[in-house]
Amino acid sequence: MKKIIIIVAITFCNVMFAQFREQVENQPTMHDGLVRNTVPSLVLGFINPNNFSMKHTVDLSYSAFGNQGMALGVYTNSMLYKFTDNLNISADVSLVNSPYNSFGKDFANQLNGIYLTKAELNYRPWENVTMSVQYRSYPFNSYGFSRYNRGYFYDNWLGW
């Protein structure tokens, strides 16, 4: 009797996990959920996602002087949209947070927030002529590199 129960149990277990072949072929994969195979369409009718790029930067610092100290974290999202080969627009949006400082909560509240640190429109009518209109606003004094905190090798047309 025990042998019959064991044989029946093994048979039912095998039957329970059986599948038809066409069911296995039509199951969605993780790749299908993450990657869209369609050609990107225009957003709002005129924005091409292929011409849009983003760069993310995180800067963490701590400064100590005298009996005072301040920790500062800055997340910056740099966005660039290329309308044509000779016209682009870019913007830097920064999230600033001072989780610790010895100057008091009011000082931290003055620094903390979201800032539009840079917005610029670049136009290159000819190869050696570039026109740029920029807006810059920093919440604190920034001692960055030359070329407007972009490093020596930054080019407005090549992006990053």
The tokens describing 66, both together, are: 């005298």
For 8-22, 44-58, 80-94, 112-126, which range has the lowest pLDDT when averaged over its residues? 8-22
> What is the mean pLDDT of the segment spanning 57-82?
90
The tokens describing 5, both together, are: 């129960």
The tokens describing 33, both together, are: 């959920």
pTM summary value: 0.57
Cα 132-118-52 angle, rounded to 5 deg: 80
> What is the mean pLDDT of the segment spanning 20-27?
62
Half-sphere exposure of 69 (CA within 13 A, CB side): 7
Of residues 36, 38, 139, the one with CA closest to residue 97: 139
DSSP 32: H
| Domain range list for the chain | 2-32, 42-141
**pLDDT band with cut points at 50, 70 and 90 for residue 48:** confident
